[in-house]
Structure 1
């Protein structure tokens, strides 16, 4: 396994389990499609991938599992569900797996074993705000809550649960440039504005393309409607109940759905806070085409 990201913070017990079990599991599932997603856009991408891969089995969308099961229950997490030997049979039926693990910390069997990797990127400003809201929702009431200002300071210093956000993004962007047949890099903002091209691209990439007949029959559009943020966030299953209710850190299902809005950072960040994030973005993404995906970041500074 390659050298770990120094800022990759994970509880020792989980990390040890990950190292011991991940290679063993993945060697037996080399045809597995590994969906790699950061904490922003995760739920939406899981729903889309699940609906695409299982559309033959669940052709009747009126009784589709996503209507009664939250997306995180449909696609297991490598570092939680799989390393703890939960839902390991699920990947045999639906070859989808999710993880937040940094690229350089992924098992070699994922990188070299034929797995397809899908990564979704979001403007760092919206990503930060979304992550802060999520952290606030899952922090116990009797625990100390981190203010937006404190969280920004940590985020800018690269103190994040899975390593510095910009480095995290760049590692997958570079991997996608080097091996586009193996790594698909999606942009959240593009998908929200016009999801159809990105979803068609996703289906093609993971080996489940939509046929001309399916498109003419509206199958693609029905999946887009089923998996839209607006639809998912308004389903009872996603407004009530908890994710992993048996665990010590059960999370309200509603915590995974907030606004899904592009540019919501403007309602939270001062101009100075936004510029600080943009400055880091310019420094980190300089010399790449990544700046074209980030609002305002390429309109300031030198």
Structure 2
């Protein structure tokens, strides 16, 4: 049997193994999972291993990731909770990593958009119609591979979190008050016309109880924060607010962490500032590729590209939350983060 035939046979066996694993989860586990009203699709949100997942297809993708993701030492994985600046940071990392490959005037970000260039691991299984094709596609991506994920640290495969794997994570943290407001807008924009909007008050109660996509948010943050303290060379923990306030400093940090530091000549020629301008909210949100069409992440989830861009501001929560709401989130944050050494950006 040739090497190619062995590869195909191995991928067939992996696909069959995964199908059996997920069928067992569908049959024995999903019916027992706690459920709450969903945010985006009007269906139920499911609690799996302590965190809330929006759909069964997301759960399917997470199980696929846990069983079949084999990291490479050159992999860079952007880990975020939803609405923490994922789209922006995808652009920043891609542009920084590939800055010697593409001219700014013909950059892929101008014609493809961040999500098309930076695969989402949680739903990678749905890149193709068959499990085997997705497994093959994942393996055949050229290095260095760039991925994103919303999966909590505790749910990542050991193959990725183990120090010996060599892959690195960039984690983005954002003030939960801004996250909540952004998530509420995003959820209502993403709902079909048949599903009534979720009120601010209803969404607020769910968020504070931890019932939000990939939530509780505070637990999501703490998982990566503690791991970054233990393995600072493996996990770069950044705050959205710091990047907004001083992008030059933090793009430099990002470049050093992913193994692509800026040279003295690049610094003199303004390479850092060029990347910041290319990836700015104003530039990305006004590109035709990000205004039209939809990103399909799974059979259940297709989101208008324009919905990924709202304001991108720090402190916009002040326009929507009452004083009592803000105090409640702050109190939850104080209680959850107590003793961790972490404070949210402002």
Could you tell me the TM-score, scaled by structure 1's length? 0.89
User: Relative to 1, partners in 2 of residues 1:280 and 1:88: Cα closer, same or farther, differing over 3 Å?
Assistant: same
2:53 maps to 9
- Number of matched pairs: 289
* 1:70–1:253 CA contact under 8 A, matched in 2: no
The correspondence for 1:68, drawn from 98, 102, 111, is 111
User: Relative to 1, partners in 2 of residues 1:13 and 1:192: Cα closer, same or farther, differing over 3 Å?
Assistant: closer
* 1:136–1:145 CA contact under 8 A, matched in 2: yes
1: CA distance between counterparts of 2:329 and 2:186?
A: 19
2:342 aligned with 1:290, yes or no?
yes
Name the SS of the counterpart of 2:183 in structure 1. Answer: helix
* 1:30–1:109 CA contact under 8 A, matched in 2: no
The correspondence for 1:173, drawn from 213, 218, 225, is 225
2:96 maps to 52
The correspondence for 1:34, drawn from 72, 77, 82, is 77
Name the SS of the counterpart of 1:161 in structure 2. Answer: coil
2: CA distance between counterparts of 1:245 and 1:12?
A: 13
2:150 aligned with 1:100, yes or no?
yes
Deviates more, 1:213-222 or 1:265-274: 213-222
2: CA distance between counterparts of 1:192 and 1:90?
A: 35
The correspondence for 2:161, drawn from 107, 111, 115, is 111
Question: Highest Rg: 1 or 2?
Answer: 2
* 1:54–1:94 CA contact under 8 A, matched in 2: no
Deviates more, 1:31-40 or 1:78-87: 78-87
2:118 aligned with 1:81, yes or no?
no
Deviates more, 1:92-101 or 1:218-227: 92-101
Q: Which runs of 5+ in 2 are unaligned?
A: 1-47, 128-133
Alpha-carbon shift at residue 14 of structure 1 (Å): 4.1
2:174 maps to 122
The correspondence for 1:267, drawn from 313, 316, 319, is 319
Runs of at least 4 residues off by over 3 Å: 10-14, 20-23, 245-248
- 1:246-296: per-residue Cα shift (whole Å, max 9, x none)? 9543211110000001100000001011111011011111223323x344x
What's the C-alpha RMSD, in Å, of the aligned pairs? 2.0
Name the SS of the counterpart of 1:290 in structure 2. Answer: coil
1: CA distance between counterparts of 2:253 and 2:305?
A: 29
User: Relative to 1, partners in 2 of residues 1:57 and 1:156: Cα closer, same or farther, differing over 3 Å?
Assistant: same
